[in-house]
């Protein structure tokens, strides 16, 4: 294996101009072989392996030292595999392949630690641009995907505040509560969180009971009031 160490006469920018060392993991052989063949023809990518399973990828990380792992999300154990790869090789960036803009797993893969997304309609040039941006530590995704991820961040921030209520909400209830406060309907909440509509209705019922209110509007007002009170208390305490 060639020595890829950046010596005294080189700069990090020089290293980043080297071809991206890419490891492909895809359970479907047609995808795996097709991606490997197409990307191997590029001068800006070096395909160091194309494997059908995450456990094989983990075993290959040390020997091949890829910069980026391109992981087909339809591969068995893909979501858990992201966390496993991150544990064994924290410096390796992971790009999720075949994720749609409306895919309910979008947030889950982000939380697991992916550094980019390749949609099903991406071109070979798109794939290269995305893996290069991942190597630079940049998240590459569409504006719609970015909106989903930012909304998730807002929900997490609201969840931290809601968990401090005197009548504590569960983690999922806090998530649903934050979306109620934003004015989303039950159907929209179900789609946002990737859960069933009956489950959302149960959470809404529990939230109304715990907050001792009679409707969604009252619940939203109560949550805003509680958050403002917590913020004011925190500023006084500080």
Is residue 137 located within the same domain as residue 150? no
What's the Cα-to-Cα distance from 221 to each of 10, 30, 159, 160, 178, rounded to whole Å?
58, 53, 16, 17, 11
**Residue 116 falls within a domain, yes or no?**
yes
Residue 127 lies in a domain: yes
Tokens 């059908």 sit at which residue?
52
Contacts of 189 (CB under 8 A, 6+ apart): 176, 179, 180, 200
Domain shared by 111 and 157, yes or no:
no
Note the pLDDT tens digit of each residue in 15-60: 557 899 999 999 999 989 999 999 999 999 999 999 999 999 988 9
- Domain-located, residue 232: no
**Same-domain pairing of 32 and 120:** yes
Domains of the chain: total: 2
Q: How confident is the model over 201-224, as pLDDT tens digits?
A: 999 999 998 888 888 988 888 877
Residues 19 and 80 in one domain: yes
Half-sphere exposure of 14 (CA within 13 A, CB side): 8
Which is nearest to 126 in space by CA: 94, 97, 85?
A: 97
Asked whether 104 and 194 are in contact (CB, 8 A), the reply is: yes
Instruction: Report which listed range, 64-68, 77-81, 95-99, 230-234, is most confident.
Output: 64-68
Cα-Cα-Cα-Cα dihedral sign, residues 22, 77, 26, 104: negative
- Say if residues 69 and 41 touch (Cβ distance below 8 Å): no
Q: Identify the band that residue 7 occupies on the pLDDT scale cut at 50, 70 and 90.
A: very low
- One domain, residues 123 and 184: no
Banded model confidence at residue 117, pLDDT cuts 50, 70, 90: confident
Q: Indicate whether 92 and 126 sit together in one domain.
A: yes
Domain boundary among 141, 158, 183: 141
**Distant-in-sequence, close-in-space partners of 84: CB < 8 Å, separation ≥ 6:** 54, 58
Q: Record the tokens describing residue 28, joined without a space.
A: 């479907």
134 plus 216 within the same structural domain: no
CA separation for the pair 188, 200 (Å, rounded): 10
Tens of pLDDT, residues 126-171 = 999 999 989 998 876 766 776 666 676 666 655 555 555 545 778 7
Residue 204 is assigned to a structural domain of this protein: yes
Question: Is the domain of 151 the same as that of 64?
Answer: no
Residue span of the structural domain in which 119 resides = 15-141
Quick one: 154 and 171 in the same domain?
Answer: yes
Domain shared by 42 and 62, yes or no: yes
| 235 located within any domain | no
């Amino acid at each position: 294996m060639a020595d890829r160490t950046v010596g005294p006469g080189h700069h990090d920018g020089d290293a980043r101009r080297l071809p991206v060392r890419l490891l492909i993991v895809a359970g479907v052989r047609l995808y795996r072989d097709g991606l490997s063949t197409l990307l191997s023809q590029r001068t800006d990518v070096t395909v160091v392996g194309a494997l059908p399973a995450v456990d094989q990828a983990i075993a290959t990380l040390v020997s091949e030292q890829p910069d980026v792992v391109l992981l087909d999300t339809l591969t068995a154990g893909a979501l858990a595999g992201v966390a496993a790869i991150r544990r064994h090789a924290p410096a390796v960036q992971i790009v999720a392949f075949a994720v749609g803009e409306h895919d309910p797993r979008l947030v889950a893969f982000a939380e697991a630690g992916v550094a980019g997304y390749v949609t099903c309609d991406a071109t070979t040039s798109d794939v290269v641009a995305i893996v290069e941006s991942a190597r630079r530590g940049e998240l590459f995704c569409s504006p719609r995907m970015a909106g989903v991820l930012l909304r998730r961040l807002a929900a997490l921030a609201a969840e931290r505040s809601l968990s401090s209520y005197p009548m504590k909400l569960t983690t999922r209830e806090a998530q649903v509560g934050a979306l109620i406060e934003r004015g989303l309907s039950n159907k929209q909440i179900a789609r946002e969180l990737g859960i069933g509509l009956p489950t959302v209705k149960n959470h809404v019922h529990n939230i109304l009971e715990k907050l001792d209110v009679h409707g969604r509007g009252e619940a939203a007002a109560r949550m805003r009031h509680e958050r403002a009170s917590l913020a004011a208390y925190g500023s006084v305490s500080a």
